[in-house]
Amino acid sequence: MDRKNHINFWYFLIAFLAIVLLRDLWAQWAGVEPIPYSEFQTLLRDGQIERIAIGAEQITGTLKRPTAAGRSQFVTTRVEPGLAAMLAEHGVEFRGQTESKLFATVLSWVLPALIFVGIWMFAIRRIAEQGGLGGMGGGLMSIGKSKARVYVETDIDVTFADVAGVDEAIEELKEIVEFLKEPDKHGVLGARIPKGVLLVGPPGTGKTLLARAVAGESGVPFFSISGSEFVEMFVGVGAARVRDLFEQARKRAPCIVFIDELDAMGRARGAFSVGGHDEKEQTLNQLLVELDGFDPKVGIVLLAATNRPEILDPALLRAGRFDRQVLVDRPDKKGRVQILKVHMRKVRAASAVELEDVAALTPGFTGADLANLVNEAALIATRRRASEVTMDDFTRAVERIVAGLEKKNRLLNPKERRIVAHHEMGHALVAMALPGADQVHKVSIIPRGIGALGYTIQRPTEDRFLMTRAELETKLAVLLAGRAAEALVFGEISTGAADDVRKATEIARSMVARYGMDEALGNVAYDEEASPYLNLPAGLPQGVPRFGPDTARMIDEAVKRITDQAFARASAVLAANRPLLVEAAERLLVQETLERDGLEALRGRLRPGEAAA
Ligand code: ADP
Ligand code: MG
Ligand code: ZN
């Protein structure tokens, strides 16, 4: 419940009390003279009274002549007759008294009501705070003021210079900025500006940032609303809000309307219809109506962002609606350097910090991850009271983010530590022995995060877009080398390799069923591509097998053959270097981490071992 409702309630209560009290006072003072009972008796004796009305407690009457105060009505409270006679005998002035019951009466009505209302308000507030009952509290209370819950910003100071590493997306959006700056000029050539532009990409790649930058560059008002806000309890509220949003935007064109997290409201109708189904449908329908209803020439550009385009309703994506899609993908290495540069503006870094190296350590990071990384590095530097952020701070920040927070207090027993050390050294040695494997950056047996008991950080020499079969096979051998080392040294395998095995299986399966790399199965894609961004409407169920049971068995066998070969290859390398493996693992047990220098020394002593495979 909000403050306004409180105030309304109190106004009401006070007004009610005031009316009751005033009426009573009015009756007492307007024209009616309260007199003592003794005076009543005197007046009666003197024949001054015209007529009277006798109540249980009070006697009211009319005087023949008005009193000094000009009142001709009087009221007196009765006194017990015996007592009155006695008092009159002794010439005492006396009056009866009634305990005013008014207050008590009012109180007996109002107090329970007050207590009840208090409890009710308390309960409602609690529910609203907890956001429980599907936001019932919030929904209940906010239904009345759902209007104008639209956010408009002007003078946004974000520009394209703040968004790095997504040059292609910016290139596409520049046209929109041009249009917003001079809407009239655009019509001349007859070109139709797209009505809706959908920014698509993984979370944290800068979609929201880009939308704001478009507004900042073109200097127009920026109306933004998030799809998740439309998840309301009452049918019709979301639709009303959409109508409201466009109404306001139309008044302020040229402007940008930005719907963030479009997937939250634009899910395909009919699908996922668990609760709130009608509501979503209405909201979506209203959005479609608005999309069709406005003429882009008035200068409204609709931007939206989503990281799940595959679940959007196909109706949203058809021509004339969100008909242009801009991919905002994870940055490549060059992009990462640029993004780091943007975020390093705020940080004082040592001159030795090579952003190239930081970028090389962070394949797959999004813009948001990199922003977080810079912040984390600065925090680490602050904690050791340094005046500058160094490369070392960055390396540690990367480790922290990649492998989760360091957990020094998680104790492995000595036997487990030995297993982990051999496992990790197995990965490292095989990676160093096999040509074409990613370079090993660091090996550690400090447990981190959930699940990782140790880790080997490999550093790809460059971003890869294509991989050959030989490279994939090498990758598999490196992945399975941890388990191979355990088997070789302890004659026993452990659960520590679960994640490696899962990854290896995935790669092998892709080689067979997606890349067509198995001779027996041929150049056939049996599995669907795992939904890449921009894979248009997912009306069709995904991942339905396109092969019969015999082929399924062949695929499974091929996957097993490939992983078995990789395991054998890793085992062969390790068998040829067994003394080195044991020695290096012992060193790792003592030092906990091995970095480049230590690893280089090992590399010099490796025997190829490939011949044995
Ligand atoms: P999304 O909307 O795609 O999930 P955001 O736009 O909210 O991601 O990005 C979150 C934050 O990450 C931004 O505020 C910014 O600090 C940082 N960031 C993301 N992408 C970039 C980028 N390409 N360039 C610079 N900073 C970025
Ligand atoms: Mg966002
Ligand atoms: Zn492993």
Burial class (CB in 10 A: 0-12, 13-18, 19+), 197: buried
Catalytic-residue membership of 89 = no
Task: Give 475's pLDDT tier (boundaries 50, 70, 90).
Answer: very high
Write down the pLDDT at residue 595. Answer: 82
Residue that wins the pLDDT comparison between 231 and 251: 251
Q: Where in the chain is the domain with CATH 1.20.58.760?
A: 414-612
Between CA 91 and CA 184 the distance in angstroms is 103
Residue 559 pLDDT greater than 90, yes or no: yes
How far is Cα 592 from Cα 453, in angstroms, rounded to an integer? Answer: 12
The tokens of 482 are what?
């941890």
Q: Are 473 and 562 in contact (CB under 8 A)?
A: yes
Q: Is pLDDT of 565 > 90?
A: yes
Q: Assign 1 a pLDDT band (cuts: 50, 70, 90).
A: very low
- The C-alpha atoms of residue 330 and residue 359 are separated, in whole angstroms, by 13
The residues, any chain, with a CB within 8 Å of residue 191's CB and separated by 6 or more, are none
Global pTM value: 0.57
| Residues contacting residue 106 through CB under 8 Å, at least 6 positions apart | 17, 20
User: pLDDT per residue over 195-246, tens digit each?
Assistant: 789 998 888 889 999 999 999 999 899 998 887 776 655 667 778 888 888 8
Give the integer Cα–Cα distance in Å for 399 and 397.
5
Question: How much is the pLDDT for 24?
Answer: 73
Ion ligand 3: residues, CB within 5 A, are 482, 500
Helix, strand, coil proportions of the chain in percent (round to 5)?
55, 10, 35
Strand partners, 499: none
Neighbours of 176 (CB within 10 A): 20
> How far apart are alpha carbons 327 and 264 in whole angstroms?
19
What average pLDDT does range 259-263 have in this prediction? 88
Nearest protein Cα to ligand 1, atom 1: 204
Number of neighbouring beta carbons within 10 Å of residue 536: 11
**Better-scored residue on pLDDT, 458 or 39:** 39
* C-alpha 159 chain-centroid distance: 24
What is the band of 88 on the pLDDT scale with cuts at 50, 70, 90? confident
Whole-number average pLDDT of the chain: 81
Ligand 1 atom at shortest distance from the alpha carbon of 335: 23
pLDDT per residue as tens digits for the range 360-411? 888 778 899 899 999 999 999 999 898 899 998 998 898 888 766 445 445 5
Domain with CATH 1.10.8.60 in the chain: 333-402
Looking at residues 130-146, what average pLDDT do you find? 44
In the sheet that holds 455-459, the strands lie side by side as 455-459, 439-444, 593-594
What is the whole-number distance in angstroms between the Cα of residue 226 and the centre of ligand 2? Answer: 9
Count of alpha carbons within 13 angstroms of residue 493, beta-carbon side? 15
Residue 457 pairs in a beta bridge with 442
Question: What mean pLDDT do residues 32-36 have?
Answer: 80
Residues of the chain with CATH 3.40.50.300: 149-327
pLDDT > 70: percent of the chain: 81
Q: Which amino acid is at 232?
A: E
| Domain at 414-612: CATH code | 1.20.58.760
pLDDT over threshold 50, residue 414: yes
Question: What's the 362 CA to ligand 1 centre distance in angstroms?
Answer: 16
Burial 423-454 (b: 16+ CB within 10 A, else e): bbbbbbbbbbbbeebbebbbbbbbbbeeebbb
d(C-alpha 266, C-alpha 577), whole Å: 58
Domain 149-327 sits in CATH 2.40.50.180: no
Residues in contact with 9: Cβ distance below 8 Å, sequence separation at least 6, in sequence order: 117
Over its C-alpha atoms, the chain yields an Rg (Å, rounded) of 41
> In ligand 1, which atom is closest to the CA atom of 342?
25
Q: Given pLDDT bands bounded at 50, 70 and 90, which one contains residue 462?
A: low
Whole-number percent of the chain with pLDDT over 90 = 26
- Contact of 249 with 255, CB cutoff 8 Å: yes
Q: Bigger pLDDT: 32 or 162? A: 162
Fold of 333-402: Helicase, Ruva Protein; domain 3 (1.10.8)
State the catalytic residue, choosing from 232, 424, 473, 486.
424
Cβ atoms of residues 379 and 389 within 8 Å: no
- Site to probe by mutation for ligand 1, drawn from 199, 209, 307, 355 as the one with most ligand atoms within 8 Å of Cβ, is 209
Q: Residue 143: its pLDDT value, please?
A: 43
Does 537 score more than 50 pLDDT?
Answer: no
C-beta of residue 233 within 8 angstroms of C-beta of residue 338: no
Residue pair 160/169 in contact by the 8 Å Cβ criterion: no
Given a cut of 50, whether residue 423 has pLDDT beyond it is: yes
Q: What is the pLDDT of residues 120-131, one digit of tens each?
A: 888 887 766 654
pLDDT in tens, 280-291: 677 888 888 888
The angle at the Cα of 217, spanning 214 to 221, to the nearest 5 degrees, equals: 70
Token pair 């509220």 is at which residue? 237
pLDDT tens digits, one per residue of 305-341: 998 887 888 888 887 788 788 888 888 878 899 999 9
- The residue whose CA is least distant from atom 12 of ligand 1 is 368
Among 32-46, 356-370, 559-573, the range of highest mean pLDDT: 559-573
Q: What distance in angstroms lies between residue 217's CA and the mean position of ligand 1's atoms?
A: 17
- Which of 556, 563, 562, 567 is CA-nearest to residue 527? 556
User: Where does ligand 1 bind, in terms of residues with CB under 6 Å?
Assistant: 163-166, 203-209, 305, 339, 342, 367-368, 371
Residue 161 alpha carbon to ligand 1 centre in Å: 13
Segment 101-115 mean pLDDT: 83
